[in-house]
């Protein structure tokens, strides 16, 4: 099957600054695809290049097999939901939604029908004759969505569309966007810096940093098997501890931390003994106990002193100070559910054992 969007060796320079270097990937048809990264990583530039607002310095962009990187925005069958909506302030909701159809010279009757359909889709029936300034942020965002989807784009581009909404509304809209995408079958390319947003909605995520693609995969793959240190750090929370490999068995490595403790981990690529890298331990995959875990395997448990505990509602986050070695100060964040842990049993200064859940440790080299 042809990819909905195919990027090949795409590069973008602004003067001497390289915003994107050599980005290549395919977005499948009907996919909810997310470009995720910190601000300045080039994700918005990439989206704007697909939309046609920025020219490519090098490389090609194909849309369902057709080369589009030289077409102006008004000749590309993709539509955009803008970050601050960019609704036309002098037009009503209905006029905003019908604008593209008018440009495409649909008949008045067809425009009316399609606008009615879109208004119903985003549940704004009562507002068709309002101007954008008379609506709340959430309603404006729905208008923007309806406006971009009205001309039945092959691909819908969304540039941080939820960032201007408050938390509660943002969470509602996530579910709604996902549902819309599934029902309409339109390919969504969604740009965000919010990893939670990306994990909760996407079929696949492309993690970007400093103009380069770091990893592409399903939310699960990216979270469980980060390709490198950046991805592990950026997606979710993690403990990154410098370590070196002391034994190798395929991708399973045994590594030694600075304090001499040993951890079994899964490496992100084939390594040999002596390789330097970091061990990534997700706080929620760790647990603490006062006694040594009975069935504890070698390399699955560490020892330390309990530091501060931070109550987070569903969880409590503990700081555990591992044995010190020289100047390196090793500490771990451990997160335990309040319903499971006996959080009150622990107090600062206790000597504790930290158990690593089976197969949770990752060894990452860049």
Partner 1 sequence: MAAGTGSGKTISATFAPLRLWLLLPSWLVIGIFLLIPVLLMLVYSFLTKEFRGGVIWEFSLAAYDQFLFDRGLFGDDPPQIEWAYINIFIRSILQALGATVLCLLIGFPTAYYIATRPIQTRAIWLFLITIPYWVNLLIRTVSMKFLIRDNGPMNDFLLGIGVIDAPLQLINTNIAVQLGLFYSYLPFMVLPIYASVERYNFALSEAASDLYASKWTILWRILLPVVKPGIVAGCILVFVPSLGAFLAPDLLGGAKTFMIGSLIEEQFKGNAGNWPFGAAASMILLSMVLVVLLFYARAQAREQT
Residues of this chain that interact with partner 1 (CB under 8 A) are: 51-53, 72-74, 78-80, 82, 84, 86-90, 99-100, 103-104, 147-148, 151
Shortest Å distance, C-beta 147 to partner 1: 7
Cα–Cα–Cα angle for 182, 184, 185, nearest 5°? Answer: 65
Beta carbon nearer to partner 1, 78 or 279: 78
Distance between start and end Cα atoms, the chain: 33
Q: Provide DSSP, 6-27.
A: EEEEEEEEETTEEEEEEEEEEE
Q: Whole-angstrom Cα distance, residue 232 to residue 225? A: 8
Beta carbon nearer to partner 1, 104 or 242: 104
CB-neighbour burial class of residue 240 (10 A; exposed 0-12, middle 13-18, buried 19+): middle
Beta carbon nearer to partner 1, 83 or 303: 83
Query: Sign of the C-alpha dihedral, residues 64, 65, 66, 67?
Result: positive
Beta carbon nearer to partner 1, 151 or 299: 151
Spell 247-261 as b/e; 16+ CB within 10 A means b: ebeeeebbbbbbbeb
- Contact of 202 with 222, CB cutoff 8 Å: no
Q: Whole-angstrom Cα distance, residue 305 to residue 322? A: 6
Q: Report the half-sphere exposure of 198 (CA within 13 A, side-chain side).
A: 31
Residue 307: helix, strand or coil by DSSP? Answer: strand
- Contact of 215 with 36, CB cutoff 8 Å: no
Shortest Å distance, C-beta 76 to partner 1: 8
Beta carbon nearer to partner 1, 142 or 335: 142
Beta carbon nearer to partner 1, 99 or 230: 99
Beta carbon nearer to partner 1, 147 or 362: 147
Beta carbon nearer to partner 1, 73 or 125: 73
**Both structure tokens of 306:** 């309990």
Shortest Å distance, C-beta 52 to partner 1: 8
Q: Whole-angstrom Cα distance, residue 162 to residue 157? A: 13
Q: Whole-angstrom Cα distance, residue 152 to residue 150? A: 5
H runs (alpha helix) in 150-258: 167-184, 195-201, 219-224, 229-234
Beta carbon nearer to partner 1, 27 or 50: 50
Shortest Å distance, C-beta 128 to partner 1: 15
Shortest Å distance, C-beta 45 to partner 1: 14
């Amino acid at each position: 099957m042809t990819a909905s969007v195919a990027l090949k060796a795409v590069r973008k320079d602004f003067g001497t600054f390289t915003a994107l270097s050599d980005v290549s990937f395919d977005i499948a048809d009907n996919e909810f695809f997310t470009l995720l990264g910190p601000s300045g990583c080039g994700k918005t530039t990439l989206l704007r290049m697909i939309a046609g607002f920025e020219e490519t310095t090098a490389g090609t962009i194909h849309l369902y097999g057709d080369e589009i990187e030289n077409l102006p925005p008004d000749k590309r069958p993709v539509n955009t939901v803008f970050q601050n909506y960019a609704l036309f302030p002098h037009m009503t909701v209905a006029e905003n939604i019908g604008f593209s159809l008018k440009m495409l010279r649909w008949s008045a009757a067809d425009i009316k029908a399609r606008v009615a359909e879109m208004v119903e889709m985003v549940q704004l029936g009562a507002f068709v004759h309002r101007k954008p300034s008379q609506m709340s942020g959430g309603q404006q965002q729905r208008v923007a969505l309806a406006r971009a989807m009205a001309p039945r784009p092959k691909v819908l581009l969304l540039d941080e569309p939820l960032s201007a909404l408050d938390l509660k509304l943002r969470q509602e809209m996530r579910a709604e966007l996902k549902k819309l995408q599934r029902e309409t079958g339109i390919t969504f390319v969604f740009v965000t810096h919010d990893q939670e947003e990306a994990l909760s909605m996407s079929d696949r995520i492309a993690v970007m940093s400093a103009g380069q693609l770091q990893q592409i995969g399903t939310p699960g793959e990216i979270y469980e098997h980060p390709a490198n240190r950046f991805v592990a750090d950026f997606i979710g929370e993690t403990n990154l501890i410098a370590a070196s490999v002391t034994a190798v068995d395929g991708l399973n490595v045994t590594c030694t931390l600075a304090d001499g403790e040993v951890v079994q981990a899964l490496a992100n690529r084939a390594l040999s003994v002596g390789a330097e890298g970091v061990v990534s331990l997700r706080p929620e995959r760790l647990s603490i106990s006062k006694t040594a875990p009975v069935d504890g395997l070698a390399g699955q448990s560490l020892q330390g002193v309990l530091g501060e505990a931070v109550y987070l509602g569903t969880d409590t986050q503990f700081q555990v100070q591992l044995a010190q070695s020289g100047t390196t100060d090793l500490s771990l964040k451990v997160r335990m559910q309040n319903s499971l842990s006996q959080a009150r049993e622990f107090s600062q200064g206790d000597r504790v054992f930290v158990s690593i859940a089976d197969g949770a440790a990752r060894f990452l080299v860049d």
